[in-house]
Amino acid sequence: MNIFRLTGDLSHLAAIIILLLKIWKTRSCAGISGKSQVLFALVFTTRYLDLLTSFISLYNTTMKIIYIGCAYATVYLIYLKFKATYDGNHDTFRVEFLVVPVGGLAFLVNHDFSPLEILWTFSIYLESVAILPQLFMISKTGEAETITTHYLFFLGLYRALYLINWIWRFYFEGFFDMIAIVAGVVQTILYCDFFYLYVTKVLKGKKLSLPA
């Protein structure tokens, strides 16, 4: 494992922990898109079905279990534990416009036409756009809490580091996965505007706000 994948995994884990702590400490999920979190839970569920069929390493298995567990814990906190604080009026992105096309694409463009491979491909495609309901929610409310922006930053950083990881693996291992790379590029592009605002506003102590 190279340093870019490791730091990418740690950034991903940091994002998840930041979000969970934010919800638990404030006893509120205000400003958090439940729809994005459901999509991420779906991503991890469909991607890590190989937990039932193969073992790669203790690290790999542990991280997969953590991701799945935390994803469903987040969904539980939003829709059950603290549902009174969930802002459903602003979390209105039509997720079927993401899930249906992504599902169709996974059937058409994949490495192998088998159930596990199609579901893995589906998870890669879906992860690239799963953050859209959250970004859409921020654009509707016009602003985001600082802790939420930290969550988004580490989530975007994870994908950017994974892109570097794919480049590293291509040059040093001869490994090339077009599906993962294209999806990673798409996801990183979606974060570009946010990265700019994060650096120019949040890191300077200002609140991230957008025109509603």
| pLDDT at residue 195, rounded to an integer | 81
Q: Please, are residues 170 and 176 in contact by the beta-carbon 8 Å criterion?
A: yes
Positive or negative: CA dihedral 80, 84, 85, 86:
positive
| pLDDT at residue 140, rounded to an integer | 83
Question: pLDDT, tens digit, for every residue of 110-153?
Answer: 999 999 999 999 999 999 999 999 989 988 887 778 878 899 99
| pLDDT at residue 102, rounded to an integer | 96
Distance CA 207, CA 157 (A): 20
| pLDDT at residue 211, rounded to an integer | 53
Q: Domain ranges for the chain, please list them.
A: 3-201
Residue 178 has pLDDT above 70, yes or no: yes
Q: Identify which has the larger pLDDT, 78 or 199.
A: 78
The overall average pLDDT reported for the chain is 91
Residue 11's pLDDT band (cuts 50, 70, 90): very high
Residue 189's pLDDT band (cuts 50, 70, 90): confident
Of the candidates 68, 69, 205, 85, the residue with the CA atom closest to the CA atom of residue 149: 205
Q: Please, are residues 34 and 91 in contact by the beta-carbon 8 Å criterion?
A: yes
pTM over 0.75, yes/no: yes
Alpha-carbon dihedral of residues 48, 50, 51, 55, nearest 10 degrees?
A: -130
In sequence order, the 6+-apart residues with CB closer than 8 A to the CB of 147 are 18, 22
| pLDDT at residue 184, rounded to an integer | 86
| pLDDT at residue 179, rounded to an integer | 92
Q: Please, are residues 194 and 131 in contact by the beta-carbon 8 Å criterion?
A: no
Could you please report the per-residue DSSP string of the chain?
A: --HHHHHHHHHHHHHHHHHHHHHHHHT--TT--HHHHHHHHHHHHHHGGGGGT----HHHHHHHHHHHHHHHHHHHIIIIITGGG--TTT----THHHHHHHHHHHHHS-SS-SHHHHHHHHHHHHHHHTTHHHHHHHHHHSEE-HHHHHHHHHHHHHHHHHHHHHHHHHHHH----HHHHHHHHHHHHHHHHHHHHHHHTGGGTPPEE---
In sequence order, the 6+-apart residues with CB closer than 8 A to the CB of 136 are 33, 92, 93
Question: pLDDT, tens digit, for every residue of 51-105?
Answer: 999 999 999 999 999 999 999 999 999 999 999 999 999 999 999 999 999 999 9
| pLDDT at residue 209, rounded to an integer | 65
Residue 188 has pLDDT above 90, yes or no: no
Residue 200's pLDDT band (cuts 50, 70, 90): confident
Residue 143 pairs in a beta bridge with: 209
